[in-house]
Structure 1
Amino acid sequence: MAATVLIALCTGWMFSLWHNPNIEHLTIADFLFDGRIVQGVLFTVALTGCAMALATALAILLAVMRLSANPVLRVMSWAYTWFFRGTPLLVQIVFWGYLGLLYQELTLGIPFTSIQFASADTNAIVTPFVAGLLALGMNEAAYASEIVRAGLLSVDHGNVEAAHSLGMSPAYTLRRIVLPQAMRVIIPPMGNETISMLKNTALLQLIAVPELYTQTSWISAQNLRQVELLIVASVWYLVLTSVLSVPQYYLERRYGRGTNRSLPLTPWQQARRLVGQMRTRVTQVAHTDARTEGDA
């Protein structure tokens, strides 16, 4: 009953949206594959991939530091997580975007001396793309490090001791023994974080990064069709998040092997199962009708 009501409400909302006279559907169709929109989509995908790669590398490093026996490394990892989780992402984006106001030049040299190897204008190095990459990647690393740490802690310590008894180094043990087992716990929340990262790229409009939402905002400022361009952006975000869900699904299956839990069916297996169930029902109905006619 609840599902029927929900479907009816969604259908009614979609019907009213489609027949709303204030929405120009041709505008949506015209701009859905517009060159500027496609460029924004590609920029969003590239930014998400680069930022997530940076975040993952930092997260592994921070998680290992947090679990280290060295108190200095533990405090440094905790301080990083505390700072980047405690300040809003929007503030961090603006900070990196306006870094040139704080440092006019970035210099490579020996600290506390006058020796300099190279120097360049800050705005030439920290472009809007780089600023967005640093803001998203470093912020995400604080959250991802806790996910990685939880995954590392989920591995039975006996496996680590067995690896050490075989003469494996700590780094080799981490790479070949611990991380493969921890991935089963890490993959699901990291997949969600990747999708969240994709949507957070819209915040980079503040520093004029030409990603998807920025492009739609620039276009709507010209033609004053804000709602239509928001629908275009929403369609593309839904497509991108749906695409990202596919590798997450198969990675979960890949690293879920060898556990006591049964593996979830793939979409193809689910489709075959649904077709088989429908075929069985049709066959049962046909047999029932045939028996009824025979009895008559």
Structure 2
Amino acid sequence: MDALYQPNATGLEALDELDHVDWNRLQHAYGKGVVSLEGSNASLSIAGDVARSLAALRDDPSFAIGDGLYSNVCHQGTVYEATAFAVPFIAAVAAGDVPDSIRVPLLALLGDISIGGSSVAPHGSHSGAYGDQVGALVTESLATSMRRFTTLRTPELVALVQAIRSLLDYYDRHTMGVILIGMPGIEKRLARYPQLYSRIGFAHEFRPLTTDELTAVLSQRIHSGPQNPDEYLGYSTAVATIARITGGNFRLVDRLLTQVHRIQALNHLDALTPEVVDAARETLLIGH
């Protein structure tokens, strides 16, 4: 396998070096080389041609990224041999003198590619790396290409680049999945981003905790129960207050108890009292 080519130029000028790569021999989502897809859909005119998808960044970046690059080199989360060779050009363009309207979607694409390269798609039918050693090749390409962004200063873009590097680090060090926890309706929000949503294995809805479940959570999180009979009433009232405030919402229970522990530590308190719970609620603006 040929060495990965890193363009010398940055920005759109890097696309002048596309002919340094023999794209005809590289596997992408639709085969090798230029694959003609029949149909009247305009998006099919660029799918099946990696080099053309990259070159289209000059004239129609949105079309090039959405219908070209995502279709060819990060198809529903699957990455290919051609992906590894496209990454240096994607990074070179994003690192150059281009508007954020081009840079940000390209960085997002690199993030999606880094996720795809962190697992294996043996049959190419789901997200992951498709092909022998493709995952390692994509990871190598990303690691080398991301060095271009060391001088990036925009806080939001720095955070995005750091997130991509973190994904690479996870791939190198661990075999693990990622759990996203959010507000009700998070799955509908994620559905707006098919390249991310296609990677989600399943969605689990946390229903309100039952009394027994809430008691079990509190027993694990509240390490110091009532120490004498005089504290039982205050403790029971505090637990009832937590149940009332949170309505059994697991996320709110976790946030509230974290703040309770903080208030207890700052004030050198051991007992759980209704006053401590109310102070935590006021701080988090829960129940207003």
Is TM more than 0.5 here? no
TM bucket by the smaller chain? under 0.3
Normalized against structure 2, the TM-score is what? 0.23
Greater relative contact order (Cα < 8 A, sep 6+):
1
Alignment TM-score, normalising by the size of structure 1: 0.23
